[in-house]
A and B are shown apart, each in its own frame.
Chain A
């Protein structure tokens, strides 16, 4: 186990030194900031619109003199706007995270083979399974960091803009994280058969919501669609904890199968 953790720690160190990955993460965060700013501006415009619409009609009383129905309408519209922007935030963070995950996992092993550094590592008493699991674990830690960063950004965003988080958003970072680990496991497996870029593209599109859980293929092929919560966030639906638990189990089971297949392939792969 110590060996796997050492490889994982080395993998994290390696990932944090990769400029392209850092660039991707920064771009993802920049997009999130851009959406936050857009949200802030749009909300201010909306507030001004309400004041213009209702404030001028109420003879100098402003929004405080609104009727109960006006207030309800204003609250509903504000909540809807909040849902839209939370959805945008989630979509951007999830998409950025997916790109980061694809980059990390599709190159985790192949970059070591390409550079030749894998040969020094595997000349030590390190099995290929330990190497592969260590590489995956390193990616998981970096993705967990990304999910935490996205959650912190979302909380800071909600606090600064004084809106309530949609109930579905409570689980969004976790399910986004699960989705990215699934994507990553598929990308890692495929990268052992084809070039990393091809592996990343196939992993991204394979099973993107094509399978329902009543279809047996759901348990074999990835079904990322269930981890996309944008409709729940948009409608403000509360996810049941059992659903989240079920999806977590599905992701864990799926990742385990992908890693088993990857191990099988990697054990026979030539490193020359």
Chain B
């Protein structure tokens, strides 16, 4: 069963009482997140990532389409018992001390009093806040608030974690610790939906990613699927002059070295033509490689694509 399922999800904001101006925040987003996977949700600012999360958590109402969590409509309160959420800017009740705040949220999650204290202490240790547990939340730094935000999201051992820019205020050590926590959670079979700007972070932990741009889905798939580019490289030992001329004529890019040459093909028809030319001239192909793209390249090329009409 899909932990998250969105079908043709739309959200349009109207300009206000007297304004007829409409802003499309999300346009027919369809995605599914399977149980046990870490799912990266990428996109530049204003792409509709937080809007999607708000729709999934029933903070906002869709103007079209539907969404469900573990097969139940997002409007059902009970399904929230299976998820933990950490917002982009973690605004906490600053009149509590760290431990007391977690106790309050633990009560809302329905953790029995007898096991509450042990679980809260365990989570405070996990996010390295044990020393600041009895300090007022008002005195927490941004990074500390973010750690406490992560701890509250993990209360009750939820099956699904929805994390909106979870490492935005963390230092490099904090980010590394956060990645370790994610890996451990994945090992325990948890589903994690993570929205982030930090591509390297997503690349290192996510099973699948979605790239969103101006409310529209641009790419979705595993990193392997998305990084398999269209560029093919042929490596040969040497190229006689007639072959060089023939390859240049069909538009192949050549890189010549002392005893080797590389032929770069931008698309499949060119790849076919190059392959045929080399065969006709009896040139042996030493190696053929499909050039891989980094997540950053995929991301940049996706957001550069023109929007579908």
**Which residues of A are in contact with B by a Cβ distance under 8 Å?**
2-3, 6-7, 10, 13-14, 17, 115-117, 119-127, 268, 270-272
Contact = CB atoms under 8 A, between A and B. Distances in A.
B108 A125 contact: yes
Contact of B108 (A14, A116, A124, A270): A124
A126 to B, nearest CB: 6
A125 B93 contact: no
Contacts of A119: 57, 59, 85, 87, 91
B57 A117 contact: no
Given A125-B108, A125-B110, 11 more contacts: A3-B108, A13-B95, A13-B96, A117-B92, A119-B57, A119-B85, A123-B57, A124-B105, A127-B77, A268-B61, A270-B60
B87 A125 contact: no
Given A2-B107, A6-B104, A125-B110, A271 B59 contact: yes
A17 B108 contact: no
Contacts of A2: 107
Nearest to B87: A119
Given A14-B93, A117-B93, A272-B60, A123 B85 contact: yes
B142 interface: no
A272 B83 CA distance: 19
B59 A121 contact: no
Per DSSP, are chain B's interface residues mostly helix, strand or loop, or mixed?
A: mixed
Contacts of B87: 116, 119-120
A123 B92 CA distance: 13
Contacts of B54: 271-272
Nearest to B85: A123
Interface of B: 51, 54, 57-61, 77-78, 80-81, 83-85, 87, 89-93, 95-96, 104-105, 107-110, 149, 152, 162
A10 B91 contact: no
B104 A14 contact: no
Given A123-B83, A125-B78, A116 B60 contact: no
A116 B149 CA distance: 13
Given A6-B104, A272-B54, A124 B109 contact: yes
17 contacts: A3-B107, A6-B104, A13-B96, A14-B95, A115-B91, A120-B87, A120-B90, A122-B80, A123-B83, A124-B80, A125-B78, A125-B80, A126-B77, A126-B108, A268-B61, A270-B59, A272-B59
Given A6-B107, A125-B80, A116 B89 contact: yes
Contact of B91 (A6, A117, A272): A117
Nearest to B79: A125
A2 B91 CA distance: 24
A3 B91 CA distance: 21
B109 A125 contact: yes
Contacts of A125: 77-78, 80-81, 108-110
A181 to B, nearest CB: 24
Contact of B59 (A7, A117, A122): A122
Contacts of B162: 123
Given A13-B95, A116-B87, A117-B91, A126 B80 contact: yes
A6 B104 CA distance: 7
Contacts of A7: 108
A125 B105 CA distance: 10
Contact of B152 (A14, A120, A271): A120
A127 B108 CA distance: 11
A268 B58 CA distance: 10
Contacts of B57: 119, 122-123
A115 to B, nearest CB: 5
Nearest to A114: B91
A4 to B, nearest CB: 11
Contacts of A117: 91-93
Contacts of B60: 270-272
Q: Which 3 A-B pairs have the closest CB atoms?
A: A123-B85, A17-B95, A116-B91
A6 B116 CA distance: 15
Identify which of B60, B77, B108 gathers the most chain A CB atoms within 10 Å of its CB: B108
Contacts of B90: 120
A142 to B, nearest CB: 14
A2 B108 CA distance: 8
